Amino acid sequence: MSFAVGPILAEMDKAKLEGSPVAMMRRGVSPPSVHRGTVVTSRRTAVAVQAEPAAAWAPGEEVVLIVGEDDDRLMAPGRFVSTQSGMAVFALEAEWRPFEVKAERHPGPGIEAEVRSILGGSRQPATIVDVAGDGMAVMVATRPGGKDLEVQARASGYAAHLPCQVVSHAETDDGQVLLRLKFGVLTLPQQAFVRQLRAAMGAIDTAGPDSPSV
């Protein structure tokens, strides 16, 4: 597939997406490969991104783009066109649509983690099924003791221990326990990891029956 890069850039109009943070997930890669950047300019069928740092892309490579932060995120599938003036240009394969994190969704594919109880010192495997700016939801086999927990997770080649507090818990139909957690005080590296974690979860969430495989 070939693209006319010049006309794409020439016809781009300034839009509300300009200056917004963007996560770029390579499709068909496991675990999800996440790159971050800023939208320089966009139009209805294409977007130009300044990656941080610059990433190597193959012509026609498929990605999922998630723009914005918190509850104002938009997502769209796309393909890499080319690099021009330090910007990566992606042709959009569908319209932008809201990226929704459903708090009550049935837990599906997630990110493997470990939960440690600060009170009892117990550890158990967990699956992260949702991540927001101020907390996360994890699935465990049994309810840990106490409210103070530490979640160890890995995403996009990075790992971190995140202090959390239990906000609520509920038992699922299959006997597992869904914990809703809020983050404690996070260091700057931990905050950066949460952003990576959210981007990785976004890549997994897009792999639905109506979405491209990630």
Cα–Cα distance measured from residue 126 to residue 110, given in angstroms and rounded to the nearest whole number: 9
Q: Are 163 and 148 in contact (CB under 8 A)?
A: yes
- Domain ranges within the chain, ordered by starting residue: 5-98, 111-205
Domain 5-98 and domain 111-205, same fold? Reply is yes
pLDDT band with cut points at 50, 70 and 90 for residue 159: confident
pLDDT band with cut points at 50, 70 and 90 for residue 165: very high
This prediction has a pTM of 0.48
Helix (H, G, I), strand (E, B) or coil at 100: coil
- Across the range 124-130, mean pLDDT stands at 88
Q: Which CATH number fits domain 5-98: 2.40.10.220, 3.30.565.10, 1.10.3720.10, 3.30.420.40?
A: 2.40.10.220
**In CATH, what class is 111-205?**
mainly beta
**Nearest-10 Cα torsion for 196, 202, 203, 208:** 160
pLDDT at 188 over 80: yes
Q: Please report, rounded to a whole number, the percentage of residues in the chain having pLDDT higher than 90.
A: 20
